[in-house]
Amino acid sequence: MSKTIIANFKMELSLKQSLDLLKKYKKGLKTINTNYNLVVCPDFLCLAYLSAKDEKTRVFPFNLGSQTVGHLKYGALTGEVSAFNLKDIGVSFCLLGHSERRQMGENNHIIREKIKTALKAKLIPVLCIGEEKKLSKSKLDTFLAKEIRETFSGFSQSEMKKIIIAYEPVWAIGNKNPCLPKKADEVHGLIKEIIFKKFKTNIKVLYGGSVNGENAKSYLEWENIDGLLVGGASLSWKKFKKVIN
């Protein structure tokens, strides 16, 4: 099974900077032989701009993803974007439940509805979960089980097969003390165990949290880590190239 690496530009770049960076990604990936499934998530304005260009301009050696979606197909949701509109312009993945979105007020109920809508639009949802501070093993087990139970309440086995989870411990994001690879692998194994017990299916789990070119390999070597969610290191082709190399 090929591992997945997702680049999340967040709201860090101007439109011009995003487009210039995507050109560097496109050019650079032509010279790299990689078996990774690559996904790039620029902001909505960038995605809309790409959709307005001719087909050649919209062809990339990676999948496009969105950083969130609205929880309804269409409706009175000021500031949100329809998963169906995103699918129409070539988007195939979407990040949901990112810690930064949760800090803005999103909860498991809203995130569950967003996942359902994304699946109906035939997008691949990438659910982000993770604890805010370091927890003991028993408390972390309880936390993850609760997140999974509340978020996937009412989901079928066939739906779960189409979902990816990204484990991103909030305490490890944006600092020099990421979760150690061995610990991350253990947590990924726990998440997979919880999912399998409840839905009798396997699921991909990615790691996110201060991933860079120096530590990426140490995560990807572990069996339970099916890929990476990359933030800051994705904002430079030179840095991101180190990650996928």
pLDDT in the model for residue 25: 96
Report field, pTM of the whole predicted structure over 0.85:
yes
Inter-residue contact 130 to 168 (CB < 8 Å): yes
Catalytic residue among 100, 147, 168, 188: 168
pLDDT in the model for residue 173: 85
* pLDDT above 90 for 191: yes
Per-residue pLDDT tens for 80-128?
Answer: 999 999 999 999 999 999 999 999 999 999 999 999 999 999 999 999 9
**CA distance linking residue 177 with residue 157, whole number of Å:** 36
pLDDT in the model for residue 1: 65
* pLDDT above 90 for 56: no
**CA distance linking residue 23 with residue 44, whole number of Å:** 17
Q: Which domains does the chain have, with CATH numbers?
A: 4-244 (3.20.20.70)
Catalytic residue among 71, 98, 106, 188: 98
Number of residues written out for the chain: 245
pLDDT in the model for residue 104: 96
The verdict on whether 188 is a catalytic residue reads: no
Inter-residue contact 206 to 229 (CB < 8 Å): yes
Q: Which residue has the higher pLDDT, 33 or 193?
A: 193
Burial of 223 (0-12, 13-18, 19+ CB in 10 A): exposed
The verdict on whether 98 is a catalytic residue reads: yes
Task: Supply 99's token pair.
Answer: 């810690």
For the residues of 225-238, what is the DSSP string, one character each? --EEEESGGGSSHH
